[in-house]
Structure 1
Amino acid sequence: MSDLFSASGLSEGAPQPLADKLRPQSLDEVVGQDHLLGPDGTLKRMLEAGRLSSIIFWGPPGVGKTTIARLLAKETDLEFEAISAIFSGVKDLRAAFDRAENRRSMGKGTLLFVDEIHRFNKAQQDGFLPFVEKGVVTLVGATTENPSFEINGALLSRCQVLVLKRLETPSLETLVQRAEEAEGRPLPVEPKAREALLDMADGDGRYMLNLVEQVYTFAGKGKALTVEQMSSALQKRAPAYDKSGEGHYNLISALHKSVRGSDPDAAMYWFARMLEGGEDPRFIARRLVVMASEDIGLADPTAMMVAGEAARAFERLGEPEGLIPLAHCVVHLATAPKSNASYMALKMARRAARETGSLMPPKHILNAPTGMMKDQGYGDGYIYDHDTEEGVSGQDYFPDEMDRQKFYVPTGRGREKPIVERMKYIADIRARHRKG
């Protein structure tokens, strides 16, 4: 052990971060991942069966991915070797595989832990395949990104994806209690400040322990800190949110589905979450316009106008005032009657257009600007709708070779209710025209 410290330029008595000091020494000490490590957990069953497959750990920061990988190596008597995709390249991978092959020749297996594995490109990820297939390494990759999007299908098919959860309050409280035991004294904060501290961690155990360490340092041997005193000393962690990654799509999906589900409170929450995460409000504004048309449509035609005006208002006002019309829009869309009839009509019409190819319009609705076109029958029999008593001729406008289709089916909700009646009225006129 002393060789390790001296090699790094440290003495054995060098200060050690609390998070490292309290790192679990067995899988039983890992908190918050009972679905994997409990009696019926996936990893527990693997270990009991004596077969540890290659794994991709997917989860937020600070929930134990590295720790569990290290302990799995210990439990299975595998040599633990760790690399980071941020700092490693092809040369480092090659060296790691060479070391693993040497160990294998001496009867020793290797658990290769790859942190941030999604940061390796396709060619680098492909490089793992032969070594995983031959059993030279048991691969344990860690990623905060959705493996479906970030890990090659070939590599993903050879690994089991296990999802690690953000730590809930009881698990974070367990970590605080362990810190108190290690420090030999209670955390010097008032009860409400303790609750606030757990909230500040946002499910990240490592960050939780870093905050605890800061509290001990700041408070010293003085009185317990109030919420205000603690907040002034510590900085709340920004919510986990990757504007270009899965968090971006998860939260806009949550906002969209809350609007579609007519829940203004949930919609406002997800709108605020995106703003707090640093999302560009212009992106949200564009998505609100889409929601207004896709999910509300003619059930409330004003929704599209509100969304468009909210987007323009933000462009004119900027932040923070421009967020108010966007919030107004979120509430309007969430509380509006819903119809996706126009959206579905577009999808069905495009499918029909692809299937029917280049059918010509019927001749009676073609213009005839030349004599030759008139001789060909262009425009023959066309009835000018405004000249009819009902204002609707009832003629057919589909190609002659195509049966009449029904794409737009109004829901009868909101302002689509009179449209249903109007469409029935027109259908009756069309039926009379066909009979006549």
Structure 2
Amino acid sequence: MDSLFSQNKQVPLAHAVRPKNWSEFVGQTQVVQSLKSIPKPTSILFYGPPGSGKTTLAHLLTQSWSLEKRYLSCVTSGLKEVREVLDEAKRRGTIVLFLDEIHRFSSSQQDALLSAVEEGEIILIAATTENPSFRVNKALLSRMLVYRLTSLSEAEENYIFESCLTKLNHKQTFPEDLKKELFRRSSGDARKLLGYLERILNATNDTEKITESKLAEILGENVIFYDKNSESHYDIISAFIKSLRGSDPDAAIFYLALMIEGGEDPLFIARRLVIFASEDIGNASVHALPLAIATWQAVERVGMPEGRIPLSQCTTFLASAPKSNASYLAIDKALQMVRERKREFQIPNHLRNAPTATHKNEGAGKDYQYPHDFPDHFVREKYFPDSFYPNPPEFYEPTNQGMEKNLKDQLRKHWGDKK
């Protein structure tokens, strides 16, 4: 095997073949073009998934600026190490400080960087896998250029894979289906891909044929990456809800499977189904909410893995059911009016409760018309406060979807065009 690999047995392959210049870097085309056009050193934050090139871009930028650099991981370092770099910068001049996983620093730790960044004592290059809007101080963000990186495409992974084999002068060939399996497992993470390749090369020789069973033996079971505290958690539940709303049961089931396999709390999923049933289906199918609540109870009582079955049943029903958000819109409109006019009305006398003789003497409940005493159990009556007339508000606007159309027809029958 080539000396690049054999002489660096203790160095991870991903580090050994890290790009040394811009031409070797693969992916993030628009970001790279933007970085190369920056006129002078400036503080930058990279955020994106693991293995998308954040650290490598930091190295290439520092190299192009010809500045001293210091690397700190916010997982293992704290303010003591940061202050040492700041003191060094005051003595020697501007230093590039690369902070990996900056979201691990507390708000006060991040604040300690503000003055040095503002005055140019350090050029801060930070990296995070989290959305910086949630995890990085706004004051610090305002002093940095922010670049979002994306997972590598399969074509980019293939280029990295083949380039690495060429650098290693490795003669072993990989069938296309096995390469695709590696790309599937790595999910656009170059570091993970090269880690897989390193394990394969360590476990085989140039003449050994790599089969699917051999690959599984070397790499073991593929574990889905799903961090319940990361942005991916919110992205997947968002995609799940939007697939339900878009009436695509297959896509919804896919995201449900991702969450289940990733170890998401099944009761969290069940609670979201309950909310969705009322918010997005409502009266278009009055079976939706009871089913969602029953699903919640079933999952709570039977646990997993059996709980996946009622979750799937509920998911497919909610995705396939007619949709209406009329009830959801109605309460929000009513709440807005109450907040705006909360002191501008009083309950009409005929709607007031009359538990005592004093209340009756005041007129409470007088002239109330009991609907069940009238044909069709309905009588036209004023139910809003008097100040709302002659044009009382209409909050609930039933749709023609599913069972809600029956409610709409019933209301039209009673109220005419008012409903």
Confirm or deny a common fold (TM above 0.5): yes
**Residues 57-80 of structure 1, C-alpha deviation per residue, up to 9 Å, x if partnerless?**
001111111111011011011111
Contact 2:171 2:206 in 1 (8 A): no
1:55 to 37, 44, 62: 44
Determine if the alignment matches structure 1 residue 417 to structure 2 residue 402. no
1:21 to 16, 31, 37: 16
Contact 1:289 1:307 in 2 (8 A): yes
Q: Secondary structure at the match of 1:409?
A: coil
Q: Secondary structure at the match of 1:161?
A: strand
Deviates more, 1:327-336 or 1:241-250: 241-250
What is residue 407 of structure 1 aligned with on the other side?
395
TM-score (norm 2): 0.94
> Counterparts of 1:20-419 in structure 2 under 5 Å?
20-37=15-32, 41-46=33-38, 50-104=39-93, 109-358=94-343, 359-403=345-389, 404-419=392-407
Number of corresponding residues: 410
Deviates more, 1:177-186 or 1:138-147: 177-186
Letter in 1 for 2:394: K
Unaligned runs of 5+ in 2: 1-6
What is residue 8 of structure 1 aligned with on the other side?
none
Q: Secondary structure at the match of 2:375?
A: coil
Aligned alpha-carbon RMSD (Å): 1.8
Contact 2:170 2:206 in 1 (8 A): no
Deviates more, 1:179-188 or 1:119-128: 179-188
Partners of 2:172 and 2:184 in 1: how far apart? 16
What is residue 5 of structure 1 aligned with on the other side?
none
Alpha-carbon shift at residue 383 of structure 1 (Å): 0.4
Contact 2:46 2:127 in 1 (8 A): yes
Contact 2:8 2:16 in 1 (8 A): no
**Residues 258-280 of structure 1, C-alpha deviation per residue, up to 9 Å, x if partnerless?**
11111111111111111122111
**Do the aligned partners of residues 59 and 429 (structure 1) sit closer, same or farther apart at CA in structure 2, a change above 3 Å counting?**
closer
What is residue 3 of structure 2 aligned with on the other side?
none
**Residues 78-114 of structure 1, C-alpha deviation per residue, up to 9 Å, x if partnerless?**
111111111111111111111112222xxxx321111
**Do the aligned partners of residues 186 and 423 (structure 1) sit closer, same or farther apart at CA in structure 2, a change above 3 Å counting?**
farther
Alpha-carbon shift at residue 205 of structure 1 (Å): 0.5
| RCO comparison, higher one (Cα < 8 Å, 6+) | 2
Alpha-carbon shift at residue 236 of structure 1 (Å): 4.9
Deviates more, 1:309-318 or 1:231-240: 231-240
Contact 2:51 2:191 in 1 (8 A): yes
TM-score (norm 1): 0.90
Partners of 1:70 and 1:221 in 2: how far apart? 33
Contact 1:22 1:178 in 2 (8 A): no
**Do the aligned partners of residues 121 and 326 (structure 1) sit closer, same or farther apart at CA in structure 2, a change above 3 Å counting?**
same
**Do the aligned partners of residues 231 and 380 (structure 1) sit closer, same or farther apart at CA in structure 2, a change above 3 Å counting?**
same
Identical aligned pairs, as a percentage? Answer: 41
**Do the aligned partners of residues 411 and 429 (structure 1) sit closer, same or farther apart at CA in structure 2, a change above 3 Å counting?**
closer
Partners of 1:130 and 1:234 in 2: how far apart? 47
Deviates more, 1:350-359 or 1:134-143: 350-359
Q: Secondary structure at the match of 2:243?
A: helix
Alpha-carbon shift at residue 429 of structure 1 (Å): 10
Partners of 1:153 and 1:235 in 2: how far apart? 42
Contact 2:172 2:207 in 1 (8 A): no
Q: Secondary structure at the match of 1:158?
A: coil
**Do the aligned partners of residues 185 and 245 (structure 1) sit closer, same or farther apart at CA in structure 2, a change above 3 Å counting?**
closer
Alpha-carbon shift at residue 244 of structure 1 (Å): 1.9
